Amino acid sequence: MPTKVRDRLEAALDAIAGSGAAASTVMAKVHTEAARAAADAADARARLGLSLGALDGALVSIKDLLDEAGEVTTAGSRINRDLPPAKSDAPVVRRLRAAGAVIVGRTTMSEFAYSGIGINPHTGTPGNAADPTRVPGGSSSGAAVSVGRGWADIAIGSDTGGSIRIPSAFNGLVGFKPGGGRVPTEGAFPLSYTLDTIGPIARRVADTVAADAVLSGVAAPPSAPVAADGLRLAVPRGFLYSDLDGIVGPAVEAALGLLAKAGIRLFEVDLDAVVTLPLAIQKDVTITAIEAAHIHRDNLRDRAGDFDPRVLARIEKGAQASGATYVGMIRAREAAKAAVDAAFAPFDAVIAPTVPAVAPVIADLVDDDAAFTRANLTALRNTAIFNLFDLPAYSLPIEIGQPLPVGLMVVGRRGRDHDLMALAAALEPVLQPSPRTA
């Protein structure tokens, strides 16, 4: 007989409790009794032969920037601890509850979702699920680790510049960033109104598809599975493949070999003219920094000393930008989308390393601002490009026995999220012929 949801939940709660103080660096809040009630309700439905869908009874964690009625949405900050509890659930949280998901708790994150590394001086930094001495990736740091440690089946995170895909790559998980505007962001504490997205992290593509159907309110249409044989994937040698470290580079090349062996048609193309457009558009300041400066304008004035200094520095840079600069960037972004769409049109997807390097060691970054900045820029380099273009993207784990997790980013075409999901499901078994060691 299938394992009861309540039994699975109790095993997760025991594992969280058994992790001692380290648990608080991953889970900002554990909803023990509410989760038990939800698990019991799922088991009761199962006994009656009833189901609310694919997420009924799934253990789900949610990032601590999503509103839950009665909970303070801290967004990983000291400042937000003084906010009143949320009056209602965010739309995506309401949808999860209605689908029968068992919300285990709220996960920690980089302060205000503004880092691809996951170090947080206020809550502590979760150790990577594959190697606790290494960073988890951010900003959905606790989200990825909650899945990597088996405390949740699915984690709901946010992705403004890579915050779902980076921790997924660092922890050996599947992460999906939907196309811009597809999942409602109301009730999520914002980093960038323009670029924020909400999506799932899980161990399997199928779980991200099920979660996306609930989050977006649009289930994938029934269709025949996509065959790997015959897919047309662009391999944009150049910027996205430059400066790969000694683990990522060989792992990605091995993955390309596996894809080719599976009959997938790989086209080595030069897409630098379009993939580097975000650097040209944001050469002095980013859209995220400017919008974050607006969001935090009162706290910049009144509580600057309560920010993580590394986050504060980036927000303050945005505060120095002019309105004319911002408008010009927004218009240039919209114009660039057409060029990207045309360049991607001949292919089913574009593939590249999710992150050019494996997760760095926490101790190397905690007290070294220069090393942190370099690592953060490296982590965000490939992923942030596709937020600017509002394209859907996956990070899929490469499992060829390398010593640390490596992710392959698969980027779909605009408005073709469901096509990308089917494609990712076809690639998943090809990229995992053997378990990762250590």
Active site residues: 63, 139, 163
Which token pair is 123?
């809550």
Residue 160 has what DSSP assignment? S
Q: In whole angstroms, give the CA distance from residue 148 to residue 289.
A: 30
Residue 281, CB-side half-sphere exposure with 13 Å CA sphere: 25
Decide if 28 contacts 126 (C-beta within 8 A).
no
Q: In whole angstroms, give the CA distance from residue 79 to residue 399.
A: 40
Quick one: which of 348, 41, 393 has its CA closest to 212?
393
Peptide bond before 139: cis, by omega within 30 degrees of 0?
A: yes
Q: In whole angstroms, give the CA distance from residue 312 to residue 212.
A: 32
DSSP 286-321: -HHHHHHHHHTHHHHHH-GGGS-HHHHHHHHHHHTS
How far is C-alpha 30 from the geometric centre of its chain's CA atoms? 21
